[in-house]
Amino acid sequence: MKKLFAILFVLFAGTAVAEEKPNILWLTCEDNNINWVGCYGNPYADTPNIDRLAGEGFQYMHCYANAPVCAPMRSTWITGVHALSMGTHPMRSRYPIPHETIKYYPDLLKEAGYFVGNARKTDYNIGGRDDKSPWDTSKVDWKVLKNNQPFFMVINSTKSHESKAFGDVNNTTHDPDDVRLAKYHPDIPEIRKNYAHYHDQMKKMDADIGLALANLEKSGMANNTIVIHNSDHGGVLARSKRFLFNSGTHCPLIIRIPEKYKHLRPADPGSKINEIVSFVDMTKTWLNICSAETPDYLQGKVFLGPDVESREYHVSFRGRMDERCDNVRAIRDGKLLYIRNYMPYAPWGQKLNYLWQMKATQAWDQHHREGKTNAVTGRFFGTKPMEELYDTDADPDNINNLISEPKYASDVKRLSQALDHWQVEKFDSGLMPESEVVKRSEDCGKTIYEMVRDPSLYDLRAYQAAAAMALEANPKNLPAIYENLKADDSGVRYWAVVGCFNLQENTAIDMDKMKACLNDESDHVQAMAAWILYRGGDRKSAQACWNRLLAESSYASLKVLNIIDWIGDGVEAHVEAMKKCQFSHQGYVPKMKENLGVAAVKPKKKRAK
């Protein structure tokens, strides 16, 4: 009898513990910043279900994505580790990580007794594991969820995805006159229509949120379920998604916590919360409130419940976006946004095959080509400054760069130093060109995550110092930069040649040293040195270098093609070499060829003898 009682007690206790754990319903959507959601202040937004949820829950006013595009952001979410720290930040790259070290958060939730589901967006950008593998289900079945409590269920609406902003922008339900244009967009009909078209899509997405909430209520589990809503990053019209401005990273976040779990509430329902939330924090927070393990490798902070950890800064990053090379970091506090452009020579508005499918992008591009943009609306199509600083309260569209204002000098220094510290602490893997990092990772037989944590393989502090010198563009540094050209580490040599490039317009550069760089072991050093020679008048040597790299299918081929496009002198001298190039770079070399008007040539199949 005593034995039976003990068994029943254990079973009852286990059930009680399970019931105490909250269900989590995470309602995600895609590609929209706060300006598309009514409760965040846009009077023209039509999002009644999200607005109602905000009234019942908590509206976070300072929530930011770490990456301004889906794959690297979802890579960060699924692991709780910054994509930039794993090498998974370039778009559609799927580089491997050490899966024996880093678990996906659903794995940890399952260990804590949760039933986990995801319907059905994955896009984790990580190699070596099937994206679907950590989930118990990819379907929403409320009966199944009710029978498998506690549950953690992700429902992702695709109605607001960038692709939904493509196509015909005429005959919209939303009136094109009733839109709030960003200050950087020219006020022209096609752009207004595209705004209206996307407002229509946002309403459809909002209906998906409403349906999920209604089904939760109908299931009888609302009083036992925490509801979370947010987008996966900002967007969606040009100069938002993919960029580190407010428009690309400032996202809606709304959380409703039932009375049963009021100890987790940050304030009274209906409150606006002003603490900074970084998207990387979500993974650790969800695990914490579900009483699951929070491993030491997690890089976020808990922002809900009794274990809240304070956050002073948020960091975001931009690497390659599809076929376009770039490298940017940003750090912000509650007011100021500091941006560091490691490739200032790469324009913001370089043509991207996917983005240029949108009518608004095409119209803006044409408007600029016709000379009709002004200093604000045309800035997008120019090259970038080394650094930017914005007062996000006074200038939410981030159009007034305050970097040279004397009164902000101490803030610039503070934010820049904080970013430097973050890069070391989180192991920034993007301080060399992407394919250079990949090559070194493959050569040493380690994942990028492992390699960047070994200073003998990836000397992050040395790259930081060399990059800082390159971006300073101070002629006094030229002797030290030349010395760095002799370094054993290709990463240091790369930043040395970039330093020469940045100084070239105002300082005489030793062209013999640049010619010597054409024989460097690093193809990226060669490519940048050739650009210096090209600008210095030696086009023959530069074009010969680029053509050789392309014809040999160099791992730097994508960068070479981008350089040729940035120069803007045409592709005639490079067509044959481009046709020979077989380096894929996840399929983006062929896309870049398409941008440049050169059709991809498939290798000839050998005839069977």
Rounded distance between C-alpha atoms, residue 474 and residue 224, angstroms? 61
CA-to-CA distance for 46 and 167, rounded, in angstroms?
Answer: 21
What percentage of the chain has pLDDT greater than the value 90? Answer: 95
The SS3 assignment for 312 reads coil
The domains of the chain are located at 2-304, 427-497, 510-609
The torsion defined by the Cα of 280, 282, 288 and 291, in degrees rounded to 10, comes to -120
pLDDT bucket at 379, cuts 50 / 70 / 90: very high
pTM, full prediction: 0.95
What local confidence, expressed as pLDDT, does residue 405 receive?
98
Mean predicted lDDT score pLDDT of the chain: 95
CA distance 353 to 414: 38
- 538, 504 in Cβ contact below 8 A? no
pLDDT digits (tens, 9 = 90+) for 484-524: 999 999 999 999 999 999 999 999 999 999 999 999 999 99
For the segment 141-167, the average pLDDT, to the nearest whole number, is: 98
Confidence of residue 20 (pLDDT cuts 50, 70, 90): confident
Identify the architecture of domain 2-304 in CATH: 3-Layer(aba) Sandwich (3.40)
Distances (CA, A) of 473 to 238, 341, 463, 499: 30, 13, 16, 7
Question: What local confidence, expressed as pLDDT, does residue 84 receive?
Answer: 98
